[in-house]
A and B are shown apart, each in its own frame.
Chain A
Amino acid sequence: MSNLIRWAPLAVFIALASALTYGLAKPARTNITSKMVGAAVPSFKLAPATSGLPGLSSADLAKGQPHLVNFFASWCGPCIAEAPQLKVLAEAGVPIVGIAVRDRPQTVAAFLARHGNPFRAIGADNASQLQMAMGSSGVPESFVIDGTGTIRLQTIGPINPQDVAGIIAAVRDAR
């Protein structure tokens, strides 16, 4: 039996075990990042999610001004956690628009009354249609959209206090 062949199993195993070692060493990444970053916001038109605020369409996001699009829901716990950060962002002048995912007008209104309203407009995404079109997979998630309607940045999970500065910078860069 030739030398090459009898050592081949060991070589294959070492290659395989290296893959396993990598698998163990890499940080567990369960977030699904959107592949739409860098592309134009898909065309959409959503009805208002609650009374008193307008709905949202893709045309609203391509009028020269950058936006932070925040996917949220009144039934989502972490969305409560990020409410103070959204308030800070709104006070810093970041134009924030909301997408209420699978929500009812009354509960959205109650949520805003309780946790503050940083939004200029909120579209109702009742069957997660826009969420899927944007490549988003949960709430809360946020996207920075530039003035031409191009997606620049995605943040997954609640916006934490340490994320605020980065988002402000991203919005500034998106002008």
Chain B
Amino acid sequence: MRTRTNWPVMILIALGTVLILFPLYMTVTIALKSPQDMLASVFGLPKELHFENFANAIAMTNFFNALGNSAMVTTATVVLTLLTNSLVAYAIARNMNRRFFKGLYFYFISAMFIPFPIIMLPLVKLTAGLNMTNLVGLTILHTVYALAFNVFVYVGYIKSIPVALEEAARVDGTSTWGTFWRIIFPIMAPINATVGILICLSTYNDFLLPLIIISDTDSYTLPLVQYIFQGQFNTEFNLAFASYLMAMLPMIIIYLFAQKWIINGITQGAVK
């Protein structure tokens, strides 16, 4: 009875995807049309493909510069987060019986409840004073802000790794650092993948932090570029949509290849 395909549900689910795909269909077709095409039919497929929209959008937004910035900040944040946040969580997880580390744990995770606007105004003064209004500053801030959630997730995971493994290494004379890097860190691969995916998505798509931190146009990330150039796109929708599509494309491509991983990772990260 339960092994047969449930057709009514299947049809509803299939119809529902139209709601998801329609805006994306519009994005792709508008990006490929000319203004004349649009007048003829807003919904139809483009009569001929206007790839020059992409070329023009690239020139207008200095796209590759922004893509480079976004890629750099995202990569650096992911690497830095995985290396540092896991280490901090390890120290905490293995010493939860000590007051200092337990206190740290709650200190870090309590920040999950602090809305960003609370620190936004003073943060701008602070980063300007420290000369951090650049991509390096952005990377550091993303890494620091990720700590709250990641400590929570990592500590939960590390607790499930038997301490006996480390004791064996220690008997052989491996230092605490060596134990972490050579034994614990490799074991943490699944949770590292989860954290890496979440950080990658949130850093790449983040708009508010770059908006308040970055002042130099050469350092703009992709969302910031879309925001700044929005005014200039006012009448040139085809260029705007070409630009949106290009900005979303890297994550869509990654998603196509790592879909299963991403979905599993998100699930694990939130449920832990």
A and B bound?
A: no
Listed in ascending order, the chain A residues whose CB lies under 8 Å from chain B are: none
